[in-house]
Structures are given as C-alpha cells and as structure tokens.
Amino acid sequence: MSCIFCDIVSGIGKAEILFEDDSTISFLDIRPLNFGHSLVIPKNHYNNFYDVADKDLSSVIKATQFLTNCIKTSLNPDGINIISNNGSSAGQTIYHFHFHIIPRFKNDHFTFRPQFKDYSEGLMKEFAEKIRSAIDSSKGK
Ligand SMILES: [Zn+2]
C-alpha cells in the first residue's frame, strides 16, 4: 500500500522539508491551519501512535520539541498546539503517524472549543477502573 509520507521520506514525494535526522523528518503541512503548521514523522512507517516503537517514539518527541522551539523563536506565536490524531473519528487522514505543530495567534479563528461532559455518580471511578485494568494487564509485557 502506498503512503504519501513514506514517499516524502524516500524522496519520491515532494515536501517543504524543515528538519531531518536519522530517524525523523519534519515538513510544512500543505493544508495549514495557520502558516508554519508543521508535521513531524518517524521515517519508519507506523499507522498511528499506538504502534510506534520506543526508539522512534523517543526520536519523534525530541524532534517535535526541537522544531516547536524553532517555530516559537521564528514565528513568535501566542501559543502552539501539538496534536496527534489517531483514527478517523479523531480526524486522522494520513495513516503514517505524525505530530502536528500548530502555531496559534490571538483571534486566528481556529476554533477548538470542546464541550465538556460531567461524570455522573460513580462513572468516573468506572472509567478509571477500565483503564487501570488495561494498565495492569499490560504490565510486564
Ligand atoms: Zn508511511
């Protein structure tokens, strides 16, 4: 199956590349929410965040922090969002794991206004127990 991000890694696909090291590559998003909106990806293909191997995860996070600071210095935004979309319900469209680095400005009209929910009696504990159960069964793996 072809992957447009793997094509960028191999040099077949073109991109406005910002930064590259042994295991990561960063480039401008072609559909920016604000100008300077950038993506950081591992050179190895992973569909999404769930599967990224330790060595690549650590490299991607370091590259993301490095580039975030360079965007902060060069574009002087009021804030920066770092986002990973996983699965179509979360807005993932390219199935090669990537972090978005989105410079934010006052009144930039990128609305990201969540509607917060309230836990009913006992529901918070129920959700915590489901998650802790998965944590317990993952330990030692
Ligand atoms: Zn890929």
Rounded distance from Cα 6 to ligand 1 centre (Å): 4
Ordered structural domains, the chain, with CATH: 4-115 (3.30.428.10)
Sheet with 79-83: list strands edge to edge. 17-20, 24-28, 38-42, 99-104, 79-83
How many CB atoms within 10 Å of residue 47?
A: 15
pTM summary value: 0.91
Under 8 Å between Cβ of 99 and 84:
yes
Compute the distance from residue 82 Cα to the ligand 1 centre, in Å.
20
Structure tokens at 70: 């360079």
pLDDT digit string, tens, across residues 80-95: 999 999 999 999 999 9
- pLDDT, tens only, 42-80: 999 999 999 999 999 999 999 999 999 999 999 999 999
As a whole number of angstroms, the distance between CA 95 and CA 35 comes to 23
